[in-house]
A = this chain, B = another copy of it.
Amino acid sequence: MLTQSLNAPAISTQITRGKVAPAPHPVSDQFGAITGHVGLVASEFSYRKDEEIYGEDEPAEYVYQVVSGAVRSYKLLSDGRRQIGAFHLPGDVFGLESGATHRLAAEAIIDTTVRLVKRASLEKAAGTDVQVARKLWAMTASELRHAEDHMLLLGRKTAMERVATFLLEMDRRLAVAGMMALPMCRRDIGDYLGLTLETVSRALSQLHAQGILGFSGARQIVLRNRQRLHNLDA
């Protein structure tokens, strides 16, 4: 886990470009805000479902952005208990570290393509460009904000409140035309919310029975009443 810096590509799609897409980036494109600004070299890389992107405590050689797919960042206890700290969806940057190593491991939840840049080149850019330095700090601060909210959820919310929070978060982040297609299984959701997969399933069933959400298959969910869901979320 500590030895290799990058795993084997999934389908040998290691397309290295001299420069990342020169097309204009929206403000929300955090990676573009950096790479576009200082002209860093970015590459693309693909991982198959459940493939490890990097391990816990591995040297942080690259910084990643999800192009398509989904990624989970997690920590393990020695007996296998897992806590997922975050899900990374298209557009999200992950694997950014101020220190030398990755604090959490990362795996592709489904087949996933990422863009990546060498951490060293970002550090270098930050050393000369104050805007880049500010942006790196802001990205880490944004992760911290999420972690702080999540500590409140894990420490103090009930199972139903956690699931309600999760659904509202996913709705915000990946709903298309009022519907969301969850890339992760019930176990992943449980490990994110500090619950078992059964408890997650029961909460979702209950919300379904109350008409608050609709299913089209276990992972296609429509929120039918965001207000009521919000009320369930403490």
A186 within 8 A of B: no
In the complex, per-residue mask of A57-84: 1 if CB is within 8 Å of any chain B CB, else 0: 0000000000000000001011101110
> Can you list 23 residue pairs at the A/B interface with Cβ under 8 Å?
A75-B149, A75-B152, A79-B234, A81-B156, A83-B156, A98-B137, A99-B141, A103-B145, A126-B133, A128-B130, A133-B137, A136-B137, A137-B137, A140-B140, A140-B141, A140-B144, A143-B144, A144-B144, A144-B147, A147-B147, A150-B151, A155-B191, A155-B194
B234 contacts A77, C-beta separation under 8 Å: yes
Number of copies: 2
Interface size class for chain A? 35 or more
CA distance A232 to B19 in the complex (A): 51
Q: A126-B133, A130-B126, A133-B126 are in contact. Are A82 and B156 (CB under 8 A)?
A: yes
**Shortest distance in angstroms between A4's beta carbon and chain B's nearest beta carbon?**
23
A116 within 8 A of B: no
Give me 10 other A-B pairs in contact (C-beta within 8 A), A133-B134, A140-B144 excluded.
A77-B152, A81-B157, A81-B234, A83-B151, A83-B152, A98-B138, A103-B145, A126-B130, A140-B140, A140-B141
A85 within 8 A of B: yes
| Residue ranges of A at the interface with B (Cβ–Cβ < 8 Å) | 75, 77-79, 81-83, 85, 97-99, 103-104, 126-128, 130, 133-134, 136-138, 140-145, 147-152, 154-157, 191, 193-194, 234
B75 contacts A148, C-beta separation under 8 Å: yes
Closest to A193 in B: B155
* A77 surroundings in chain B (CB, below 8 A): 152, 156-157, 234
CA distance A156 to B82 in the complex (A): 7
Closest to A81 in B: B156
A78 contacts B234, C-beta separation under 8 Å: yes
